Chain A
Amino acid sequence: MTTRRTFLTSSAAAAAVLAMRARPARAENAPGITDKEIKIGQTIAYSGPASAYGVIGRTEAAYFKMINDMGGINGRMINFISLDDAYSPPKAVEQIRRLVEQEQVAFVFQTLGTPPNAAIRQYLNDNKVPQLFVATGATMFSDPEHFPWTMGYNPSYQAEARIYAKHILATKPNAKIAVLYQNDDLGKDYLTGLKAGLGPDRAGMVVKEVSYETSEPTVDSQIVTLQNSGADVFLIAATPKAAAQAIRKAYDLGWTPERYIDVNAISINSVLKPAGLDKSKGLITGIYGKDPNDPRWKDDPGMNEWRDFTNKYLSATEFPNVFAGYAYGAAQTMVQVLKQCGNDLSRENIMKQAANLKDLELPLLLPGMKINTSPTNYSPIRQMQLATFNGESWQLFGDLITA
């Protein structure tokens, strides 16, 4: 709780910081850093339409609590302030300003969703506050040239599509490709990534691209159009409902191209079962994390670590939650950055170290997968491994592919 006195001291500190910013001196520690504490801010959807993602914030808070129980980072405890933005851009701006101006956080971490992040990006970059590891796959957040204080985390949709393009070129160099894409930035990112991956000379390999709206009841007519193009490779860049319809309709029409499906639509329960497990056999996708529901990882050391953590700091119900597993990895990446910073916890150095991750391996990433960043590479996770569906589960094959 903010008392009157802490409010006054923090306003005084704010004034002092503003006064200091004008000086181009050696970077001091960021606001929110003391010998005892590192203050981190976050906004996330704890209420509203996207509140299912709230588990990401709760998992990260639990992980930082564990780090504090183990003595913190260099003797500093993490004070993680995670506020509700209800997935609303105006609310996100308000809460971020509260975190930066009132709470005096050192930086913000894993803010969720494309629209809220787009709304706060300019403010954070103007004030040189690191916006680290944003929780969205939109490519726009890995743009060090224009937004040097903003960094992504998960593989971007474009990176994923480039990986599919690589695989198509390796296995079917003369393929004719048909694409079904959702008509928003998600679908368009896949289309852009696919064409970029094929290269400008081979963009003609995409013989037909058809979009759909999320409000359309079915995508049947799109599938018929795509089949008539004579394509022998089919990329489905869709969300669960349309993806399930596409798999089923193509199968029922007797169209049997090599099918690639985007990572948003690989849930066995909500996509492949409704489409028909038999009809889903042979689908190819890209995966980067270990799925806790997959029996293959039952005795995996990383999975055991995750199980112990959920039992002790969350609850057993969170163990199979893929969002929670995702947050676990992001929090570990954050802690690694703070360890690398040592005792120089200026905002400049925090950003510098975030862009200086070298071969970081995490327990819930696929074996051999490494996180790397650099001043020109703001996409921490760029590797994926292809997997094919055998009628029961996703089977990994081939090597890790870097986009």
Chain B
Amino acid sequence: MTTSSAVRPISASPGLTASRLGWSVLALVAISLPFYASGYHLYQFSQVLIYAIALLGLNLLTGFNGQISLGHGAFFAIGGYGTAILMVKLGLPYWAAIPIASAICFGAGFLFGFPALRLGGLYLALATFALAVATPQILSYKGFDAFTGGSQGLQLVKPHAPFGLPLNVDQWIYLVCLACAAALCVVAMNLVHGRVGRALIAIRDHPIAAETMGVNAALYKTTCFGISALYAGVAGGLSAIAVGFVSPDSFGLYLSLSFLVGIVVGGLASIGGTIFGALFIEFVPNYADQLSVYFGESAKALPGAIYGVLLILIMALMPSGVAGAIQAVLKLFAGKSRP
């Protein structure tokens, strides 16, 4: 297998201990963050976690199963709007609304998986692209105005911490996002490091061989689509409560594209890489905006161009994403220390 990075051999290699150490440090930083970061930074890192969840889902589908989706913004939108409608129109609490909305996303993704079976590669990319293009318009369709609020969108009340915990809204939302991200990350790891993961990767790398081995390709592909959509739906629902607002403009085409950028920058078929992808799509546009100031006040039209240049640079320097680059560096050290 050429892309064996997903199935790591269990051994006490320096790479593994380093990665364990990395995860522990990350977890420590993530859990302690609410107690020293400002509300604004917590909002940003909540967004990072939300993107990371969506990227995990997309990576299961595209990275591990080889189905390219340019339309995950649509599932993100279903999750967001589903949560908003359940909360605003039906008065459900957020902890009930997000799972229900995510289940709806699973259904939608599973069903979309069937036509996807007949479409491979670029054709599937185009079909999902159409989904991303259509979503904002469907959301502002007049027939749904009573539910969706039309192009004005819906306002949500942000949830407070339960049981009188001494946490403010920003801290609580961050912790909810962190818990969801951690749980879904563990699920994704178990999924890809086991029998299911091997089947998904086999389908990606050689569908005929996989079927010969007794893998039910159709079932695996549609279920993978459904699970991937469920991840996007959880992310969308969390986004709705973190922002406190949904509108068709929140889920534009650009969102879907930035998800794809995220998994490629982070590293295809890498669970840990998604966090880097999420950091990239959250922070790099801001830096691009700040950098554009150095090109003069009249160059305020440049953030898009600077973003593009940064993206090209990253792809040139780290062709297999941030996760791939880290692994290469670790291997380098491991190689040197070997007798």
Contact = CB atoms under 8 A, between A and B. Distances in A.
A285 interface: no
Contacts of A65: 297
A184 interface: yes
Interface stretch (B121-129, B221-229, B243-251): B243-251
Interface string A58-75: 100110010000000000
A115 B250 contact: yes
A48 B247 contact: no
Dominant SS at the A interface?
Answer: helix
Interface stretch (B39-47, B179-187, B192-200): B39-47
Contacts of B142: 183, 211, 213
B300 A82 contact: yes
A185 B150 contact: yes
Interface in A292-330: 314-315
Interface string B138-166: 00111000000011110100000000000
A90 B243 contact: yes
Given A88-B250, A89-B243, A90-B250, A118 B152 contact: yes
Contact of B254 (A86, A101, A138, A140): A86
Contacts of B99: none
B152 A185 contact: yes
A119 B243 contact: yes
Interface string B19-42: 000000000000000000011100
B249 A115 contact: yes
Given A58-B297, A118-B247, A315-B298, A93 B252 contact: no
Contacts of B272: none
A190 to B, nearest CB: 14
A50 to B, nearest CB: 9
A310 to B, nearest CB: 12
A57 interface: yes
A88 B249 contact: yes
A281 interface: no
A98 interface: yes
Contacts of A93: 43, 243-245
Contacts of B242: 90
Nearest to B248: A115
Interface in A380-400: none
A362 B44 CA distance: 40
B160 to A, nearest CB: 13
Nearest to B249: A115
B230 to A, nearest CB: 21
Contact of A88 (B43, B252, B289, B298): B252
Contacts of B274: none
Interface string A2-27: 00000000010010000000000000
Contacts of B207: none
Contacts of B252: 48-49, 88
Given A61-B297, A114-B152, A215-B137, A97 B40 contact: yes
Nearest to A44: B300
A87 B249 CA distance: 7
B119 interface: no
Contact of A119 (B38, B140, B245): B245
A402 interface: no
A341 interface: no
Nearest to A65: B297
Contacts of B120: none
Contact of B153 (A61, A83, A115): A115
Interface string B290-322: 001000011011011001000000000000000
A356 interface: no
B285 interface: yes
A114 B150 CA distance: 12
Contacts of A185: 150-152
B152 A97 contact: no
A184 B140 contact: yes
B325 to A, nearest CB: 27
B301 A54 contact: yes
Nearest to A116: B249
Interface in A175-207: 183-185
B40 A84 contact: no
A122 B155 CA distance: 9
Contacts of B245: 89, 93, 118-119, 122
A65 to B, nearest CB: 8
A184 B151 contact: yes
B39 A101 contact: yes
Given A84-B289, A94-B47, A140 B152 contact: yes
Contacts of A11: 38
Contacts of B297: 58, 61-62, 65
A46 B44 CA distance: 20
11 contacts: A48-B254, A58-B300, A62-B297, A84-B300, A90-B239, A97-B39, A98-B40, A101-B40, A115-B153, A115-B247, A119-B247
> 9 shortest A-B CB distances, which residue pairs?
A119-B245, A115-B249, A101-B40, A84-B289, A47-B304, A97-B40, A115-B247, A184-B151, A90-B243
Given A48-B252, A83-B289, A93-B244, 17 more contacts: A46-B300, A47-B285, A47-B301, A47-B303, A54-B301, A58-B300, A84-B285, A84-B303, A88-B249, A88-B250, A90-B242, A93-B245, A113-B249, A118-B153, A118-B245, A122-B155, A185-B152
